[in-house]
Amino acid sequence: MFRRLEGVRVPVEICVNGQNVQASDGDSVAAALLVLGIATFRHTPKTGSPRAAYCGMGVCFDCLVTIDGEPNRQACLTPIAPGMTIDTGTRLPQLSETASI
């Protein structure tokens, strides 16, 4: 679906959902995930609908992921860094019975 244009590429190792993978230095986390074939970054808490990068410029907040243990980071605005750990939240969160959204 997505592929990298020809040119200079500096590979860096990152961890995505517990798996070590290669990404390109200078890419956003969203771009790296899409190139890796990851099309779902999270699920909505109420309906479980899949979400991923939509606007690509930090307006919509659909690309929220956990980066280095910090939840709700915008993947489209965060540059890749060597050794970065990313959790896409592809598992559905558990809502408490009293939660109302």
DSSP-derived 3-state class of residue 69 = coil
Task: Using a pLDDT cut of 70, give the percent of the chain over it.
Answer: 82
pTM of the model: 0.79
Q: What are phi and psi of 29, to 5 degrees?
A: -60, -40
Task: State the pLDDT at residue 94.
Answer: 47
Under a CB-based contact definition with an 8 Å cutoff, are residues 43 and 99 in contact? no
Task: Using a pLDDT cut of 90, give the percent of the chain over it.
Answer: 51
| Average confidence (pLDDT) over 33-62 | 89
Domain for residue 59, yes or no? yes
68: domain CATH number? 3.10.20
Domain count across the chain: 1
Task: State the pLDDT at residue 99.
Answer: 44
- The residue range of the domain holding 82 is 28-87
**Rounded to 5°, angle at Cα 34 from 12 and 47:** 130
pLDDT exceeds cutoff 80 at 40: yes
